[in-house]
Structure 1
Amino acid sequence: MKKFTSLKSIPAYLPIVNIDTDMIIPKQFLKTIKRTGLGKNLFHEMRYDDDGKNIDNFILNKSPYNNSKILIAGNNFGCGSSREHAPWALLDFGITCVISSSYADIFYNNCFKNGILPIILDEEKIKELAEYSKRKEEIEINLKEEKILFGNNELKFKIDPFKKKCLIEGLDDIALSLEKSSHINEFEKKVKSARPWIFND
């Protein structure tokens, strides 16, 4: 997992509430277990018409938002089923930070496990940032200091210290387990010595 410390981008503003994981990545694209290749199908039903052509007025089909790394969304983002393909699709498209007033719990936690920073702000602050999106101006996310910089202004946000550490150090669940490999090996040695029959072929 890539380390996350700071990020600059023109944010894409998608002011739709209750965007569920099926809207983020529809069920027909869930056959893969790979984390790559899903970006082209992100928000598929909103991005493409019945013939597979781009819907020009959808935000992520417009320049410069088609290169946005930050998505500003409506409240209750990521509700619905618990599919991990949703953060995979966002990440594969290039989005590494989502800003919303609330998230579904499972989606929120899955973001951290995949290198995406989900920021929670109240609606008034989100409206402030949305103006910078409309003006096609960059904002900056500083995770270490837990703040968003835009123009001459800044907004503070809060993040769980452990989740913050994982993002900054690029630690997913596997990496966290590997950090304890010496303890795991020591435990296995003790078990093998005390109960050798467990390890017999």
Structure 2
Amino acid sequence: MEVFTKIESKTVVLPQTNIDTDQIIPARFLKVTDKSGLGENAFADWRYDATGGSNLDFPLNQPQFSDAQVLVAGDNFGCGSSREHAPWALLGCGLRAVISTRIADIFRSNALKNGLLPVVVPPAFHQKLLGTPGAAIMIDLTSQTLTTAVDGTSESFEIDGFARYCMLNGLDHLEFLLQQGALIQSYEEAHS
């Protein structure tokens, strides 16, 4: 997993509420054995027209958002099924964080385990972000703050301590456990 300490990026905005995991990555793309290529199919039913061409009205297809790493989404992002492919697809298309007023619990868990930071902010701050697509934002995981370049306002956000530790150190759960090898061995020897 890639280390996440601080990112500075413009935002891309999807104001729709209740964006579920089937909208993030439709089920027909889940027949893969690895993560490669999922980013191309993120939001496929919105990004592409019936012929497979790009829908130029969709924000992720617009050139000014091509390097955006922060998605500002409507309320209740990531609801629906528990597919881990959803954060994989978002990471695959270059996103590192999702901001909303509410993020579904299972999506949040899957996102954190894979290095995608889910950030919940108050409605007033969220409305400011929704109203300024492409605005520069800085997310600092160390201080757990989000700061806008529009007016310099900051908001703090909550994150599980273990997930924060893993993201700051670029560790997935298995890598964390492997780092504990000496402690595990010592415990086993003392309790055998």
| Sequence identity percentage | 41
How far the C-alpha of 1:142 sits from its partner, in A, is: 0.9
Q: 1:143 aligns with which of 126, 141, 144?
A: 141
Amino acid at match of 1:89: A
Amino acid at match of 2:138: E
How far the C-alpha of 1:170 sits from its partner, in A, is: 1.1
2: CA distance, partners of 1:160 / 1:109: 10
Q: Contact 2:147–2:155 at 8 Å: present in 1 too?
A: yes
2: CA distance, partners of 1:10 / 1:124: 19
1:116-148 Cα distance to aligned partner (Å, 9 max, x none): 110001221111122332xx3311111111111
Deviates most, 180-189 or 117-126: 180-189
- State the number of aligned residues: 190
Q: Contact 2:15–2:130 at 8 Å: present in 1 too?
A: no
Gaps of 5+ in 2: none
Amino acid at match of 2:136: E
Amino acid at match of 1:4: F
Question: Is residue 8 from structure 1 mapped to residue 3 from structure 2 by the alignment?
Answer: no
Gaps of 5+ in 1: 195-201
Aligned to 2:31: 31
Amino acid at match of 2:32: T
2: CA distance, partners of 1:13 / 1:52: 22
Aligned to 1:171: 171
Aligned to 1:96: 96
Q: Secondary structure at the match of 1:167?
A: helix
1:96-124 Cα distance to aligned partner (Å, 9 max, x none): 10001111111101111000110001221
2: CA distance, partners of 1:174 / 1:115: 13
Residues 108-119 of structure 1 aligned to structure 2 (within 5 Å): 108-119=108-119
Q: Secondary structure at the match of 1:144?
A: coil
Deviates most, 15-24 or 62-71: 62-71
How far the C-alpha of 1:188 sits from its partner, in A, is: 5.9
Question: Is residue 45 from structure 1 mapped to residue 18 from structure 2 by the alignment?
Answer: no
Q: TM-score, normalised by structure 1?
A: 0.88
